[in-house]
Amino acid sequence: MKPIRLIILFAIIGFASCKFSTEVENNEKDKAEAEKVSAQFYDFLSQKKLLEARALFHPALLLSNDSAKFMEFLGNLSNQAPHVTERKLDHWQTKVTKGLNAGSVYALFYVNKFEGGSDLKVSMILQKDDSNHIRIINYNASPEGFK
């Protein structure tokens, strides 16, 4: 009877120490998925498709912002789009967790070069929504650089 109890005890300890989540950081495939959304966003802006660009933002972000001001913000970005001569991914980070506490966060940092030689540093944070679509949760542009 004792060997069975020991087997059960070891099985319980082994099961309790199992991880129910796996984490993957800085995977090229995850970066590529986030870059697709980013490319769509910039394509929509350059084509003045503001409603389509708006649809790429996470619902939580849209709910927390005034809709008219948000559309004005997208309009301003769209007006700048034709003046961008180069958009370069400077660096990136991703973190995808699968399992019990599933979630995905992607950070893309771009340098946008404009006609006339000025640079604009852009950080874009993306996250999967409840429908498992990658959406923009934060967009920040600064001539001073990444913070």
Residue 2 located in a structural domain: no
Cβ–Cβ under 8 Å, residues 31 and 94: yes
Largest CA distance in the chain: 83
Residue 117 located in a structural domain: yes
Instruction: Give me the domain span that covers residue 56.
Output: 21-142
Q: Extract the runs of DSSP E, i.e. beta strands, from 1-147.
A: 21-25, 84-99, 103-114, 119-128, 134-142
CATH number, residue 129: 3.10.450
The pLDDT tens digits of the residues spanning 73-84 come to 999 999 988 889
Residue 97 located in a structural domain: yes
> For the chain, what is the domain count?
1
Amino acid, res. 31: K
Q: Note down pLDDT in tens along the chain; length 147 residues.
A: 566 665 665 556 555 555 677 889 999 999 999 999 999 999 999 999 999 999 999 998 888 889 999 999 999 999 988 889 999 999 999 999 988 888 999 999 999 998 888 899 999 999 998 889 999 999 998 876 555
| CA distances from residue 3 to 9, 12, 55 in whole angstroms, order as listed | 10, 14, 60
Residue 3 located in a structural domain: no
The pLDDT tens digits of the residues spanning 10-28 come to 556 555 555 677 889 999 9
Residue 90 located in a structural domain: yes
Tokens of 58: 């996470």
Residue 6 located in a structural domain: no
Alpha carbons 73 and 66: distance in angstroms, whole number: 11
Q: Provide the whole-model pTM.
A: 0.82
Alpha carbons 88 and 116: distance in angstroms, whole number: 17
Residue 137 located in a structural domain: yes
